């Protein structure tokens, strides 16, 4: 799968400055606003429940969450956001999917294109790399937040997890999209807080970039993910 670099992303977010934490909150507000277009009741809107749960993990103020929901539901004025997905090639021909939420598509396209070019990559056409990926629910739990790993693994398997990957940094749980919120809620009852969760693009077509390409790709991912318009970056690289 394409998740090995995600632990590095999680560590960077934990050590983020106040300014960068503000950018994280901005991204969460955008996600909640978009999700709330399909209804403001999280019990009836899994996408909204997921966005709200992620805001809770990030300790975003409740007032911010409520305002974002009302804006998305059309009950408060606000900017209009749209979701944009870019397919691209990174250094060494690595396949990339870059998910964005923006109120200015031209600005976002320009930023993504220039960032790719500066790091030896390029934008791809529609369908150029998407066929290599599949959307799955992905939950990551840091090792220090797992009280009993055997108990955790049995519980998530019973709840419908498709795969469990044990890494040095923690455990990664792969689920079907429909099962993601169910497993997150189960973890909540077990008093386990995920380091991150959401729908990721997963691939079984992995590449091992050389040292130079790997370093450049890591820098590119960091630049992209630090931008407020970029929600997440997925690749088929083993990093």
Question: Residue with structure tokens 């923006």?
Answer: 102
pLDDT digits (tens, 9 = 90+) for 181-204: 889 889 988 999 888 888 889 988
Residue 123 within any structural domain of the chain: yes
Structure pTM? 0.83
Q: How confident is the model at residue 120 (pLDDT cuts 50, 70, 90)?
A: very high
Q: How far apart are the first and last CA of the chain?
A: 11
102 within a domain of the structure (yes/no): yes
3-state class of 139 per DSSP? strand
Mean pLDDT of 225-234: 91
Q: Count other Cβ atoms within 10 Å, centred on residue 211.
A: 7
Secondary-structure percent of the chain, ordered helix, strand, coil, rounded to 5: 50, 25, 30
CATH, residue 98: 3.30.70.980
Please answer whether residues 24 and 13 qualify as being in contact, where contact means their C-beta atoms are separated by less than 8 angstroms.
yes
Is 45 contained in some domain?
A: no
The reply to whether 68 falls in a domain is no
Q: Is residue 86 part of a domain?
A: yes
116: which 2 tokens?
């790719």
Residue 55 has pLDDT above 50, yes or no: yes
- Number of domains composing the chain: 1
Domain that holds residue 107: 82-131+205-235
Residue 147 domain flag: no
In a domain, 12, yes or no: no
5 within some domain = no
- d(CA 141, CA 169) in angstroms, rounded, equals 8
**198-226 pLDDT, tens digit each:** 888 998 888 888 889 999 999 999 999 98
Q: In what order do the strands lie in the sheet with 196-203?
A: 163-166, 170-175, 133-142, 196-203
CA–CA gap between residue 21 and residue 57 (Å, rounded) = 13
Helix (H), strand (E), coil (C) string for 104-131:
CHHHHHHHHHHHHHHCCCEECCCCCCHH
Q: Would you give the DSSP letter of residue 237?
A: B
């Amino acid at each position: 799968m394409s998740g090995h670099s995600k632990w590095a992303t999680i560590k960077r977010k934990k050590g983020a400055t106040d300014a960068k934490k503000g950018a994280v909150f901005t991204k969460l507000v955008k996600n909640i606003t978009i999700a709330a277009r399909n209804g403001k009741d999280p019990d009836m809107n899994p996408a909204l429940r997921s966005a709200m749960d992620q805001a809770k993990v990030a300790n975003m103020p409740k007032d911010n969450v409520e305002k974002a929901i009302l804006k998305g539901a059309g009950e408060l004025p606000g900017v209009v956001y749209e979701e944009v997905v870019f397919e691209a090639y990174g250094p060494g021909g690595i396949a990339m999917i870059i998910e964005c939420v923006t109120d200015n598509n031209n600005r976002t396209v320009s930023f993504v294109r220039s960032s790719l070019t500066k790091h030896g990559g390029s934008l791809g056409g529609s369908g150029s790399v998407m066929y290599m990926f599949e959307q799955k629910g992905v939950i990551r739990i840091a090792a220090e937040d797992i009280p009993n790993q055997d108990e955790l693994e049995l519980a998530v398997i019973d709840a419908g997890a498709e795969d469990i990957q044990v890494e040095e940094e923690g455990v990664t749980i792969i689920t079907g999209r429909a099962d993601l919120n169910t497993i997150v809620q189960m973890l909540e009852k077990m008093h386990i807080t995920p380091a991150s969760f959401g729908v990721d693009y997963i691939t079984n077509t992995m590449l091992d970039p050389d040292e130079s390409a790997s370093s450049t790709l890591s820098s590119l991912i960091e630049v992209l993910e630090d931008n407020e318009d970029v929600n997440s970056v997925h690749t088929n690289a083993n990093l």
